[in-house]
A and B are shown apart, each in its own frame.
Chain A
């Protein structure tokens, strides 16, 4: 098995983009859920 330390650095891009994407998706879901709650409970 070869060890390639540079791969860690190379793949930090996926870590950054992955975390950013997942936070954006969850933020969208939070906003939609809050809107859904608001629209279904308003009198």
Chain B
């Protein structure tokens, strides 16, 4: 009979708290549809790894390591950055750079909206060593794979908390951004119309764009080559026109498959002894700071440009420069419509949003250049 309850005796309250956290993540994923593709596997995984003596993670029994499946997956796909990079191929294949290519000037907002990353780096450095602070700051990239790669390369101890913060705040973009945008803009500014002038973008431009971006970024921030290279490789598959089947596979099957493994494998880092600490709460707070200052950076930069421009820009589109694609772009469009039902900002905001994707990867590369 002992065998039925000896394991139960190893259960502690910290594990129960982690089950509750897992339950909350599953609830948010299902009931609120918040990033369900990642929060659900992470939530379920956090329950699996917090069962006493869980066989899903490597345990030391009598001095011998008994390998668990999630630990093996972590070593095989996360610690060597393989899963997030492969996911980037899928993301690259999903992105249409068309709106950006018709008005490349909008890309500058993608840069401005990375301000939250660097500001959070300064704030986080007051509490953490510089490598952990940089890994936490990159939550502001609003880009899961970039956060994973940077945190791994910098050897952060807080990968689990960083991931939960990154994906949770991405899901919360529709709640976080509107109040910040409203706080920083007047109604008159939010009503500024920006007529969209569609321009023809040649196929050759769409093909050369990912190659050129990879070369430019790689020359300036070599640490970002794998990130930007995989993203742009995915996009090249999409735009070349002769690999439609591969493009479709990358967008759907490959991205879905990696997402399943990524979420549940990340959860292997959410063991109670690592996760339940005051640092986790601080990381969640700092992640929010990063998202707020990203949004503010984009909006304020647009307002600054308006001081010098004859044809004014709606400053709300600056907020779409964070890389939470396409949510951020849609929010700005929706807010424009709320102020003026004839104000269609979608093409501009999506263009800025896509540039945020590129800029966040470059920001990740710069952070790696600084601290590796």
Q: Which residues of A contact B (CB under 8 A)?
A: 1, 3-5, 7-8, 10-12, 14-15, 17-19, 21-30, 32-34, 36-37, 40-41
Contacts and interface: CB of A to CB of B under 8 A. Distances in A.
A7 B125 contact: yes
Contacts of B367: 18
Most buried by B among A10, A21, A34: A21
Nearest to B369: A21
B72 interface: no
B367 to A, nearest CB: 7
Given A30-B105, A32-B212, A32-B216, A25 B362 contact: yes
Interface in B198-214: 199-202, 204-205, 208-209, 212-213
B328 interface: no
Interface stretch (B21-29, B52-60, B108-116, B265-273): B108-116
B111 A26 contact: yes
Contact of B121 (A1, A4, A14, A25): A14
Given A10-B125, A11-B121, A37-B205, A22 B212 contact: no
For chain B, what secondary structure do more than half of its interface residues adopt (helix, strand, loop), or is it mixed? helix
Contacts of A14: 118, 121-122, 370
A36 B118 contact: no
B108 A41 contact: no
Contacts of A15: 118-119, 121-122
**Closest 6 A-B residue pairs measured CB to CB?**
A33-B104, A15-B118, A26-B111, A7-B125, A40-B202, A18-B118
A25 B221 contact: yes
B108 A37 contact: no
Interface string B154-191: 00000000000000000000000000000000000000
A12 B122 contact: yes
A4 B126 contact: yes
B33 interface: no
For chain A, what secondary structure do more than half of its interface residues adopt (helix, strand, loop), or is it mixed? helix
Given A3-B126, A4-B126, A19 B205 contact: no
A28 B105 CA distance: 11
Contacts of A27: 108
Interface string B133-161: 10000000000000000000000000000
B46 interface: no
B363 A30 contact: no
B205 A40 contact: yes
A18 B366 contact: yes
Contacts of A21: 220-221, 366
B104 A19 contact: no
B126 A8 contact: yes
A36 B104 CA distance: 11
Most buried by B among A3, A5, A30: A30
B217 interface: yes
A24 B100 CA distance: 18
Most buried by B among A8, A10, A14, A21: A14
20 contacts: A3-B126, A4-B125, A8-B123, A14-B118, A14-B122, A21-B220, A22-B363, A23-B108, A23-B112, A26-B107, A26-B108, A26-B358, A28-B216, A29-B213, A29-B216, A29-B217, A29-B358, A30-B104, A33-B212, A36-B212
